[in-house]
Amino acid sequence: MSFFTFIKDLKTIRTALLLSCILFTVGVIAGWVGTVSLEKLLLEQIEGLSEISNNLRESSNPMLSFFIFIFLNNSIKGVLMIFLGSLLGIIPALFLLINGAVIGYLVHISTLQGEDMFNLIVKGLLPHGIIEIPAIIIACAFGLHFGGKVASRMFRPTRGAEWPVFMRQTLTASIWIVILLFIAAIIESTITFSLLS
């Protein structure tokens, strides 16, 4: 369960980790390039978050409310992406594409509106994103690897001994992803919140 074990486990899912990074990058590019065509889909995602954000700002303790929402939202989704990956990796793949597209769309729209890109990226994204984005990519990578193992099991027999090892890896990954997202939520609800207020 140690962090060293977690890092060591990442080496066993290198292909899935690379695929996870590629899918997220493709999502960002799609969100940037397809700003007009994807606008309706992405605006629905953003409007939902905007409404929640406004409600949290009106609470008696906005920072605490933001922290609780961000942490629970991200950590639950992060762990779910690992285990929902068992459905042939489809859900984590879509999750990466959609989240990447939202970021690409927001950055492009902000650029078109003349927003200061330095402020947007360095103040709005980097402080928490430097931890949050890799944590989500890693969670989805475990999900993709899970899907790959299930698909492999369907088409060719695998040694039963592999599964207990992998399930231990998913448990270790779940714990450390939640810890990383806890840290990211603290930063986003305090530092990022203050910088953008």
Give the model confidence (pLDDT) of 47-66 as tens digits: 777 778 778 888 888 888 88
Per-residue confidence (pLDDT) for residue 185, from 0 to 100 = 94
What pTM did the predictor assign? 0.89
Give the mean pLDDT of 156-161. Answer: 62
141 contacts: CB under 8 Å, gap ≥ 6? 10, 13, 16, 17, 19, 20, 92
Return contacts of 88-91, CB within 8 angstroms, 24+ apart: 88/147, 88/150, 88/151, 89/143, 89/144, 89/145, 89/146, 89/147, 89/148, 89/151, 90/147, 91/143
To the nearest whole percent, how much of the chain has pLDDT over 70? 92
Per the CB < 8 A criterion, the answer to whether 169 and 12 are in contact is yes
Query: For residue 71, what is the enclosing H or E element?
Result: helix 62-84
Structure tokens at 20: 């996870």
Burial of 134 (0-12, 13-18, 19+ CB in 10 A): middle
Per-residue confidence (pLDDT) for residue 197, from 0 to 100 = 60
Per-residue confidence (pLDDT) for residue 153, from 0 to 100 = 81
Per-residue confidence (pLDDT) for residue 160, from 0 to 100 = 59
Q: How far is CA 60 from the centre of its chain?
A: 28
106 contacts: CB under 8 Å, gap ≥ 6? 31, 46
Sign of the C-alpha dihedral, residues 66, 68, 71, 73?
A: negative
Per-residue confidence (pLDDT) for residue 175, from 0 to 100 = 97
Give the model confidence (pLDDT) of 177-191 as tens digits: 999 999 999 998 888
| In the predicted structure, residue 41 carries a pLDDT above the cut 80 | no
Per-residue confidence (pLDDT) for residue 196, from 0 to 100 = 66
Per-residue confidence (pLDDT) for residue 87, from 0 to 100 = 94
| Band of pLDDT at residue 121, cut at 50, 70 and 90 | confident
Q: Which residue has the tokens 């406004």?
A: 54
